[in-house]
Amino acid sequence: MKKLRSIAPLLIIALCVIIIVWFLTGQKSGHTVKIADERSKSVTVTINGQDILLNTEEYDQRSNVYSLTTERPTLVSVSELKGVSIRINKTPFLSGEEKLIELDELSQTAYISVSFLDTDGNEIGSAYIQTLPDDAAPWIIRSTGTNTNVFYYFSCGNYLYKIDSLGHILYYRNCGAPTTDFRPHDVNGKRYYSFSVYAGEPSIEQLACGESERWARMVLDENYQFFDWIEFAIPIDDVGETHPIEMPFVMLDTGHYLISTIVETDWVLSSVIQETQNGKILRSWNSSDMTFFNSDYIKGVGISLDSPYYWVNSGLLTNMYLGSDGKTVLCEFEDGVWCEVNLTDGTVFQSPNGSYGVLEKNPVQLRQQELVYVFSENTDSTTARGLELISRIEIQSVFCEN
């Protein structure tokens, strides 16, 4: 017994040496020595480019996504995982994998479910990603028809919406700032969308016209991904480096637009319309050069902040509409003055009462929350546009429950 006690320390030392040698040998041979509790404590789930950090060992986590659609599959990916597996809407994802998932509904009661499992397949955590954030408006169409090709495009607060005739939300986007004038564009067989978004304080010319903010224009591609941003007019003649664009906007082709801005010359305010392509100016028109804005039309619109003289208005643009022929633009100015611009030769002439006939066939440029667009889409259409404006309904016809 005494002899055993005397060699016990030696046996313990020998056992420790064996364990250390075994561990080092395993490392050199490329084998990983597993620790029972070694696993990822967090994972990043990316949905439509938005990263959502989740705890793998926490239940009932809640989150949401700034933009989703049911019109096409949603791209989802997960970061590298170790010792834990993940299921999203019951679909298993491997470490670092990305997949497309289908969404059937966008609402505040519909979720993208996320489950975390250990190596034995036991659930150790969960999360629910809301398909419509709490601060979004669940819109209801007060009166609808049976035509499933009718859609509503509009904005409310920071959100854009596309809704079908049954009131189902097909697309939403939280822009993080006030928005207005959300609408689609079909140009040369391609679908784009655009909207105006709040861009900051107004210019002095806008202040003189009574405007309290300035807006920029964002263009999205057919997948609702960012395509273009237009905030300032192209500098030329009376247009300076940072003249903000006005609300009127027409998309002629990819990167090809009609925009407008307000300029001041000798205390006279006027609108400049620019035809631009890929950031370069092709042509421009100034309302002060349009002969039908004569001396009888010029009027005082306000007092300058630093002068006793009145600003005067020589014709300020309020809307632009692309003609059904795609070659003429109908321009609406204050006090019901209309003109037509020929995009082929650049000529401008007055159009009495705006009777060009395009108002029932094309999207109309509108001020925030006055109207919403109702479109009929025909994917089999052989026409160049494949998009027809059915009607313009007052915003009161579409309301939300708060």
- Residue 172 inside a domain? The answer is yes
Residue 7 lies in a domain: no
Q: 111 and 150, same structural domain? A: no
Which amino acid is it at 49? G
* Total tally of structural domains belonging to the chain: 2
Please check whether residue 230 lies inside any domain of the structure: yes
The angle subtended at Cα 183 by Cα 181 and Cα 187, nearest 5°, is 135
294: burial class by Cβ within 10 Å (0-12, 13-18, 19+)?
A: exposed
Tokens found for residue 35: 């620790």
Residues 78 and 227 in one domain: no
Structure tokens that stand for 96 in this block: 């670092």
pLDDT at 65 over 90: yes
Query: Are residues 89 and 157 both part of a single domain?
Result: no
- Joined together, the tokens standing for residue 337 give 């003055």
Lowest mean pLDDT among 84-98, 246-260, 303-317, 345-359: 303-317
- Spell out the residues 6+ positions from residue 208 whose beta carbon is closer than 8 angstroms to its own: 264, 269, 301, 302, 304, 311
- Do 162 and 287 lie in a common domain? yes
- Assess if residue 50 is contained within a domain: yes
Domain boundary among 93, 108, 130: 130
Q: Which two tokens mark 390? A: 């059915």
Asked if residue 148 and residue 115 are part of one domain, the reply reads no
Boundary (domain end) residue, out of 130, 155, 187: 130
Nearest to 106, CA basis, from 148, 178, 164: 164
* 277 and 356 within one domain: yes
**φ, ψ at 38 (rounded to 5°):** -80, 110
Which of the listed residues 108, 130, 152 is the one where a domain comes to its end? 130
CA–CA gap between residue 57 and residue 39 (Å, rounded): 10
Per-residue model confidence as pLDDT tens digits over 363-402 = 333 233 334 565 666 544 434 345 666 555 544 444 343 3
- Do 68 and 197 share a domain, yes or no? no
pLDDT of residue 325: 76
394 falls within a domain: yes
Confidence of residue 70 (pLDDT cuts 50, 70, 90): very high
Same domain, 126 and 145: no
Summarize the confidence of residues 279-289 as an average pLDDT.
Answer: 86
Q: Flag whether 14 is in a domain.
A: no
Q: Which domain holds residue 282?
A: 139-400
- Over residues 302-326, the pLDDT tens digits come to 434 344 334 455 567 888 888 777 7
Residues 6+ apart with CB under 8 A from 3: none
**Residue 365: what pLDDT?**
32
- Domain assignment of residue 37, yes or no: no
Give the span between the Cα atoms of 381 and 22, in whole angstroms: 73
Give the rounded distance of the alpha carbon of 63 from its chain centre. Answer: 20
Return d(Cα 320, Cα 162) in angstroms, integer. 23
Give the global pTM. Answer: 0.75
* Domain match, 119 and 178 both: no
> Do 324 and 252 have their domain in common?
yes
Would the pLDDT of 13 be above 70? Answer: no
Whether residue 339 sits in one domain with residue 231: yes
Indicate if 87 and 203 belong to the same structural domain.
no
